[in-house]
Each structure stands twice: as C-alpha cells, then as structure tokens.
Amino acid sequence: MSGFLDGMTILVTGASDGIGAELAKELAAAGAGTLAKTISKHYNLLYVDTGKAYRFLALERINNPKKFNLIFAKKKIKILKIKDLNKKNLLSNKVGVEASIIAKNKSIRNLVHKFQLKFAYSPPKKYSGSCLDGRDITYNIVPDADFKFFINANVKTRALRRYKELKKLKMNISFNEVLKSIKLRDKRDYTRKIAPLKKTKDSVLINTTNLSKRACFLKIKKIIDKKLIFNGNL
C-alpha cells in the first residue's frame, strides 16, 4: 500500500457502460469511468482508463489487419500516451467487441499490464497519486492499492447510458444492438480464462442503478476521507 496522500492509489472497476464524462454531466450517470474521473479531479489524481489501451490496440488491429502482430503491438504500446486514449473513435461498438477478444491474448495482456503499472505507481509529479479504471486491476494489476471500488448497475441501465452516448456522437445504432453488445461483453469478461471480471473481497460494492453521479461520488468520498482522517492525512 502506498503512503497517503502523496502516492495514493485508487482503483475503480465493474461492469462498464462505457459512458464518457461529458455526457455523464448531462445525464447525471454514475458508471465506473465517470466516477473514477470525478474522484481523480477531486483528489488531484492521474486518471487512467486502463481498458482504453485494449481499445487502442483493437482499433490498430481493425485498421491494420495484415500488419497486426505482437511486434506491431509492442511498438504501438511503447509510444502510447494517456491523451491517445481520449480519442472518440475508440468508443465505437466494433472496437469494444474487438477489444474484448484481443484481451484474451496473454501476450497482449502482458504488454498492456506494463503500460498500466507505469502510470499506477509512477504518475507525473504534479499529481498526488493515481486513479485507475479497469476490469482486472483490483487483483491482477495493483492488488495493493489503497482503495478498491466495484461499480455495478443492471444491464439495461448500462445499455441506456451507452446508447445515449453513442447517439450523441451521431452513431447509427439501436438500443437493442447496444444491449446485446453489452450482454455479450459481460459474458466474455466474466467467463474468460485470463483475468476475468470479478469483485475482490476487499473491494467496496457501489450499486449505481438508482443513484445519481453525485450521490455515488459522495458515498465513495465518505469512505476515502474516513481512512485519510484515520491515517492523519486529511
């Protein structure tokens, strides 16, 4: 475990709805990524959506099917910057499905893990620590994090959040297509042999189905602040 507050590490994981922060402001949605960004801003932490690294490689595979191999992926990960993970083309449904597929590859996972660890333990000095959003980070990437939260909501709620985000981006897709995609993604992530999505015993469950973004954040903040006060860091 890192030392508070300097070097604090917070992990946020769960069944993602893939919703972006800007749309979340309008919808008052409370997905894992949205909450992780809010936490990061409040505590001055580097925010890293670790799953976006898989989406980044998935898009490279889609755009370069003949060139894509482990050597090609290594070169791309080596030059990958945090800002590259904010590109809108990583949000497409096609990229999401492809990302779940390549995430099963152990060699690809090892590449992404190195990228994740770099920012988890060595964020830029201007930050007080890091907040990572990802599916297997609580037990496979940073098991000794200071705080772990497992975010969840029913599948229809998550699909609706995702659908509204994609429609805002003017993508031609139906709600049923999004729902089907999220169900398929959940099944793959919960049942895959390598690093499946799961809640660890030391993770705090936050059900966001009927809660606003602010209500969820305040619930998480209370838990974090209580520990910071106990350790004399707040």
Task: Count how many domains the chain has.
Answer: 1
Is 188 a domain residue? Answer: yes
The answer to whether position 2 is within a domain reads: no
Domain of residue 28 covers 8-230
Q: What digits encode the pLDDT tens for the residues 155-205?
A: 998 888 888 878 888 888 899 999 998 898 888 888 878 778 889 999 999
pLDDT digits (tens, 9 = 90+) for 30-79: 678 888 999 999 999 999 988 899 999 999 999 999 999 999 999 999 99
Residue 137 CA, chain-centre distance (Å), reads: 9
Q: What is the value of pTM for the model shown?
A: 0.77
Spatial contact of 208 and 122, defined as CB atoms under 8 Å apart? no
CATH code: domain of residue 114: 3.40.50.300
Q: What share of the chain is helix, strand, coil (3-state, %, to 5)?
A: 55, 10, 35
